[in-house]
Amino acid sequence: MVIADFAFILVAAFVLICACVVVFHNKIIYSAFALLFCFFGVAGLYVFLNAEFLAGTQLLVYVGGISVLILFGILLTKNIEDLTSKEVSTQKIFGGLISVTFLGGLIYMVNSVDWKVSTPKPIENSPVEIGKLFMSDFLIPFEIAGVLLLVALIGAVVIGRDTDKDLEV
Amino acid sequence: MNTLTATESIPYILPEIILVIGICAVFLVDLLIKKESKTPVALTALIFVVGAFLALLKIDGLEPSYLFSGMLVLDKMNVYFKYIFIISAAIATLVSMQTYTSRKLNSGEYYAFLLTATLGTLLMSGASDLLTMAMSIEVVSIVSYCLAGYKKEDMESSEAALKYVLYGALSSGIMLYGASILFGLTGETNLAGIHTALATTEVNSIALALSIVMILGGIGYKIAFAPFHFWCPDVYQGSPTPVAAFFSVAPKAAGFAMLLRFISVTFTNDPSFTTWIPEIESIGLQKVLIAISILTMTLGNLSALNQTNVKRILAYSSIAHAGYMLMGMAALSFAGVEAILFYLATYLFMNFGAFFVVDHIGRKVGSDEIYAFKGLNTKAPLLAFTMVIFLASLAGLPPMAGFIGKFYLFSALVSSELYLLAVWGLLNSVVSLYYYWRVAKAMYLEESLSDEKVEFNLSGGVLASILAGFTLILGIYFNPLSVWVKSSVSILFG
């Protein structure tokens, strides 16, 4: 039990440190790599929650897909490697103050609330059960996600392709 | 309570199904026909919108039920909102057909996105589960980003899309965090389930307040209430005008539908807003709503005062109108909900009309600035006259529909004894007169800069006249609408 707790703290700290690098690092390429490791760590957190299927999906979609896409995006954009963020110092101070207050409020809240704890034992063969739920109770969100992805794909193509001749105004 | 399983629910979501088929059909027609003529694509979209409307007539009489094991709901209020969305989709399609005949911007994707946005708003108004709420907001948002950035070669349009994405991503994130807190407190995602959990067990009211405020943030981004309104003027100015008109009506109405359902189903014990779950009393939900509505209408009206671009004026005015409608929400009464429903119907016609005229001027004169409207009365009497009707209605002058809408709102406030808020709303309406008057003055009292022809063609004139006609008729003969609104106010509980 103690070892599991220790491992959890390790993974959580890893996620937090990576997330901080994403936010605070000036160079976008470092942020992108930190985001990749952050996604890895989140997959680890899912394992602690007995959500192995979700952890696998997280690795496939976020680490394998989205982070790599972000890296490609950075590599294919001109002059972006040398780009450093330009913030006005008043923005930093105000933004920092709001964020710290909000963080304090959240920490206080998380500690003071009796969270609803789920009592049933974790399911052994979770992908099967998830699949069944997708086709029964969660059919509508599943279908909405289908439409959403279709339109997002086509939208990305529309926005991303070269301005071709037949789109001239 | 009547909860249906997936297969039983299918007849209840007929309009949505028709729209999904329509999206695919528009893509297919776009592929099959020649590049030069795009009218068939627009016609296909229009046919499916009409089909969805007919399907809506068919499901109008069905018994209110929870669908798909409680993920969606169909009740009277939901059906009313669906009429608003489908009518605004039809008007947006018609306006786009007008706009894009001369341009080649008129591609199949555009109409498919419009249909998807409509589908998203239909789902938003019916969402009765945190999961479907978040998903349907995402559908509307993602499509909106694409539509806002549709004129890629236009810098303003690209900037609008980028701002929209950034604000949208932030507010979705905030809303999901709030939803996760609410789930952590109650162990339920279904709104009715959350209500049962909140009514039977005591929860930490600070956490509850935080989650409510965060969820309001996500919905508020769609409604564009302060302080989530910053994207609004830039996006409306940069987007293609028919799209801006659609954004200012349908997603806003969908946001209100979601807000009404979320607040009433989750936190009240009975449909008439009399008793609430105990924690809500200590949070002071009404005070929060009053503060948001005051902030929204004041910021909207004051920022509109010194604008010179008419599209931006309409954007700020749409923020102010969201503020007026939030007053109805803050009344927390049946009368307030009725007033919102009535106001949305009138707002649909007057706002689409105003945007349509601006779009027309923008194409003929090549500018959305106020000076482009100078001397319009001599050049294009019909155009100027319809615009004055829309502006007068937006300002809330009798005998226009906007006046009746405001009248309902203020009487709802008075019956909830929120006198100060009502006075503040009236003051705001007076302020708004100034900037509507500036546009009207330019059209009627100032000399034109050039003599080029800007009058509508036949179909444009018919469309503008129909919109102006509704704006006038709903101001004089509003009884049928108000009867319909009264019967639509019931939200499915339990």
Q: Is residue A110 part of a domain?
A: no
Percentages of chain B per state (helix, strand, coil), in multiples of 5: 80, 5, 20
Q: Residue A83 above 70 pLDDT?
A: no
B163-168: list long-range contacts, CB under 8 Å, 24+ apart.
Answer: B163/B230, B163/B231, B163/B234, B163/B235, B164/B231, B164/B235, B167/B221, B167/B228, B167/B230, B167/B231, B168/B141, B168/B144, B168/B221, B168/B231
Together in a domain, A1 and A76: yes
Percent of chain B with pLDDT over 90: 52
pLDDT of residue B106: 53
- Mark whether A75 and A150 lie in a shared domain: no
Q: How far apart are CA B133 and CA B117, in angstroms?
A: 14
Compute the count of residue pairs across chains A and B with CB atoms less than 8 Å apart. 106
How far, in Å, CA of A155 to CA of A159, rounded?
6
- If one counts the domains in chain A, the total is 2
Q: Does residue A86 have a pLDDT over 70?
A: no
Residue A93 lies in a domain: no
Distance CA B81, CA B125 (A): 7
What's the rounded Cα separation, in Å, for the pair B383 and B395?
Answer: 18
Chain B partners within 8 Å of A101 (Cβ):
none
Residue B290 lies in a domain: yes
Q: How far apart, in whole angstroms, are the C-alpha atoms of residue A71 and residue A35?
A: 10
A77, A19: one domain? yes
Interchain contact, A137 vs B35, CB within 8 Å: no
CB B223 within 8 A of CB B255: yes
**For residue B325, is it within any domain?**
yes
Read off the pLDDT of residues B42-64 as tens digits, 9 standing for 90 and up.
889 999 999 999 999 999 888 88
Residues of A in contact with B145 (CB under 8 A): 155
Minimum Cα–Cα distance from B112: chain A residue: A151
For residue A166, pLDDT beyond 60? no
Instruction: Please check whether residue A81 is in contact with residue A74, taking contact to mean a CB–CB distance below 8 angstroms.
Output: yes
In a domain, B139, yes or no: no
Q: Do B69 and A154 make contact, defined as CB atoms within 8 angstroms?
A: no
Q: Confirm whether A40 is domain-assigned.
A: yes
Q: What's the pLDDT score for residue B98? A: 78
Do A129 and A74 share a structural domain?
Answer: no
**In 3D, which of B386, B390, B429, B388 has the Cα closest to residue B406?**
B429
Which residues fall within 8 angstroms of residue B466, CB to CB, at 6 or more apart?
none
Give me the pLDDT at residue A169, please: 42
Rounded Cα gap, residues B407 and B398, in angstroms = 10
Please tell me whether the overall predicted TM-score, pTM, comes out greater than 0.90 for this model: yes
Does residue B61 sit within a domain? no
> Which tokens in the block code for residue B179?
């939803």
pLDDT tens digit sequence for B114-149: 999 999 999 999 999 999 999 999 999 999 998 888
- Which chain A residues are closer than 8 Å to B130 by Cβ? none
In a domain, A38, yes or no: yes
The answer to whether residue A115 is domain-embedded is no
Please give the sequence-ordered ranges of beta strands (E in DSSP) within B187-241, or none if there are none: none
Q: Does the pLDDT at position B92 exceed 70?
A: yes
Residue B453 lies in a domain: yes
Structural domain harbouring A145: 123-169
Residue B283 — very low, low, confident or very high, per pLDDT cuts 50/70/90? confident
In terms of domains, do A77 and A1 share one? Answer: yes
**Least confident window among A148-162, B89-103, B168-182, B386-400:** B89-103
CA distance B188 to chain A (A): 10
Count of the separate structural domains present in chain B: 1
A155 contact residues in B (CB cutoff 8 A): 109, 113, 142-143, 145-146
Q: Is residue A75 part of a domain?
A: yes
Asked whether the predicted pLDDT for residue A161 surpasses 80, the reply is: no
Q: Which of A113, A154, A166 lies at the smallest CB-CB distance from B207? A: A113
Say yes or no: A74 and A139 in one domain.
no
Q: Give A 76-135 residues with CB within 8 A of chain B.
A: 105-106, 108-109, 112-116, 118
Ramachandran class of B103: left when φ > 0, alpha when ψ lies in -120 to 50, beta otherwise: beta
pLDDT surpasses 60 at B10:
yes
Name the amino acid, one letter, at B201: T
In a domain, A86, yes or no: no
> Scanning every residue of chain B, which has its alpha carbon at the shortest distance from the alpha carbon of A119?
B187
Identify whether A89 is part of a domain: no
Give CA–CA dist B149/B159, Å, rounded. Answer: 8
To probe the interface with A, which of B152, B189, B208, B214 has the most A CB atoms within 10 Å? B152
Q: How far, in whole angstroms, is CA B387 from its chain's centroid?
A: 20
∠ CA A159-B224-B23, nearest 5°, is 40
Domain that holds residue B318: 284-494
- Closest Cα partner for B299 from B265, B324, B328? B324
Query: What sections of B268-333 are H helices per DSSP?
Result: 278-283, 285-305, 310-330
Contacts of B320 (CB under 8 A, 6+ apart): B296, B297, B300, B301, B304, B428, B432
Q: Which of B23, B68, B119 sits opposite A139 (nearest CB)?
A: B68
Query: Which residues of chain A are within 8 Å of residue B109 when distances are taken between CB atoms?
Result: 154-155, 158
Residue B411 lies in a domain: yes
Model confidence pLDDT, tens digit, residues B196-210:
998 888 888 889 999
Write the ipTM. 0.88
* Cα atoms found within 13 Å of the Cα of residue B162, Cβ hemisphere only: 7
Mean of per-residue pLDDT scores for chain B: 89
Here the CATH number for the domain that contains residue A27 is 1.20.120.1200
Per-residue pLDDT of B299-308, as tens digits, reads: 999 999 989 9
- Find, among B467, B473, B470, B453, the residue nearest to B354 by Cα: B467
Asked if residue B437 belongs to a domain, the reply is: yes
Of B146, B150, B204, nearest to A112 by CB-CB distance is: B204
Higher-confidence residue of B150 and B346: namely B346
Residue B25 lies in a domain: no
pLDDT tens digits, A101-115: 999 989 998 898 888
Q: Which helix (H) or strand (E) holds B93?
A: helix B76-100
Please tell me which residue, A13 or B451, carries the higher pLDDT value: A13
Averaged pLDDT for residues B93-114: 76
Residue A84: phi, psi to the nearest 5? -120, 150
Mean pLDDT of chain A: 86
